[in-house]
Amino acid sequence: MRPWLFIILMSGCLGLTGCLERIVEPVDVFGNVQQGEPYSSASKMIDDWYAVEAIDEQTFAINEPKSSQYNTSYLIVGETRAIMFDAGSGERIPGSRSMREIAEQYTDKPITLILSHFHYDHIHDAATFDGVTLIDRPEIRTSVKSGVFTISPWESLDMEWRSLKVASIIPDGEVIDLGNRTLNIFNLPGHTTESVILLDKSRNQAFTGDFVYRHLGGIIAFAPGSDLVTYKANSTRLLQLTNSDTLFLGAHGIPQFAQDWLILLDNELDKIVRGDAEYRYAAHYLAPGLPWRVRQSGELYIYTTPLVDPSLFWSKWMLLALVIVSLLSLYLLQRLVYLARLPEK
């Protein structure tokens, strides 16, 4: 290939990449905390990886401040048993204990695992627990074979298939009795179809997983299973289930936040669904290869799929379109190479 043609092609590629405004980078998505630092001075460091804070005498935030996304899982304890909400990011250092082993330092009660959803950064130590409790959805129930549920790479956004023993399947709205403490579980699709939150009405605590959290990395609505219309409907539902005094506990960033953050999310999703939102395009540090649409309102970022909504973007029709575009691009490149090799007159 002639040098001038190579330079033009490379300049075009770099120009397209340069059009993508980098809004977030791994070094600046943490807001008021630095990666590697506990968000709270009350936290106790364990294994040089976990930072455990007692929200109250029976509720523990198990933070991973050195993880790439500043993950937090939760141990919720009653008088007869406990719930572990999520099972770790999968980035813990060699030699560190599992999420289950850390949780067992804070309770002697039997621990039931519930996953907020199936993405890779919430399920790493799931197999160390005595089974997982799942939300009752048709696609989940039909996928359970001989008491085992397998999370596919498509669901986890990972390279591995993860098979988990099923302890139970419970319906949306079910009350979970921990002994003198109850939790309601709600299926709130939007981030993913299987997303769940746990609500402790007596203590006015809402454990929200990835459905809503306060983290400058942004709210993610570009993964397979994301749905903007459903997200909006369920953000409104969560507002109805909570109140202005509810303590929200999310899975990323500084975990504790108030209902005003959920109200902001609900308002912005409403604009998106009504078609009134203005977007810009940006590369996201979790998926830097595509220009994601981003809706920004102050410190809130909502990232979603380019050009079209997630349900269409991840459909077979989009896959077909990508194949056609790729073939046309290869043909065009072949023609350019052919023309470059023609002798000059």
Between CA 61 and CA 57 the distance in angstroms is 11
Please tell me what DSSP assigns to residue 214: B
Between CA 241 and CA 207 the distance in angstroms is 12
Residue 102 neighbours by CB under 8 Å, 6+ apart: 46, 47, 50, 52, 62
Write down the pLDDT at residue 84. Answer: 98
The maximal CA–CA distance of the chain, rounded, in angstroms, is 89
On the question of pLDDT at 230 being above 80, the answer is yes
Helix and strand totals (H; E) in the chain:
8, 20
Mean pLDDT value across residues 83-101: 97
Between CA 199 and CA 216 the distance in angstroms is 24
CB 197 within 8 A of CB 86: no
Q: What is the pLDDT of residues 138-183, one digit of tens each?
A: 999 999 999 999 999 999 999 899 999 999 999 999 999 999 999 9
Give the three-class secondary structure for 121. Answer: helix
Per the DSSP assignment, residues forming a β-bridge with 45 are 51
Mean pLDDT value across residues 255-260: 97
Write down the pLDDT at residue 24. Answer: 62
Nearest-10 crossing angle of helices 259-274, 228-241: 150
Model confidence at 336, pLDDT cuts 50, 70, 90, reads confident
On the question of pLDDT at 75 being above 90, the answer is yes
Report CA dihedral (270, 275, 279, 285) to the nearest 10 degrees: 60
Residue spans of the domains in the chain: they are 32-279
Place of tokens 């899982």: 73
Q: Which residue would you say has higher pLDDT here, 216 or 206? A: 206
On the question of pLDDT at 345 being above 60, the answer is no
Write down the pLDDT at residue 97. Answer: 98
Give the three-class secondary structure for 229. Answer: helix
Range with the poorest average pLDDT among 9-18, 19-28, 125-134, 235-244: 9-18
Task: Note every long-range contact of 55-58, with CB atoms under 8 Å and residues 24 or more positions apart, other chains counting.
Answer: 55/205, 55/247, 55/249, 55/256, 56/203, 58/181
Give CA separation, 283 vs 22, 280, 310, in Å.
Answer: 6, 10, 16
Of 210, 184, 183, 206, which is closest to residue 195 (Cα–Cα)?
210
Give CA separation, 125 vs 98, 128, 157, 159, 251, in Å.
Answer: 6, 6, 16, 16, 16
Q: What is the pLDDT of residues 102-119, one digit of tens each?
A: 999 999 999 999 999 999
Between CA 150 and CA 145 the distance in angstroms is 9
Place of tokens 């109200």: 263
CB 160 within 8 A of CB 123: no
Q: Which residue would you say has higher pLDDT here, 46 or 330? A: 46
Q: What is the pLDDT of residues 10-42, one digit of tens each?
A: 444 434 444 556 666 666 677 778 889 999 999
Of 164, 127, 112, which is closest to residue 143 (Cα–Cα)?
164
Give CA separation, 110 vs 25, 113, 177, 183, in Å.
Answer: 40, 10, 13, 16
Domain 32-279 fold is: Metallo-beta-lactamase; Chain A (3.60.15)
Distance of CA 150 to the CA centre of its chain: 19
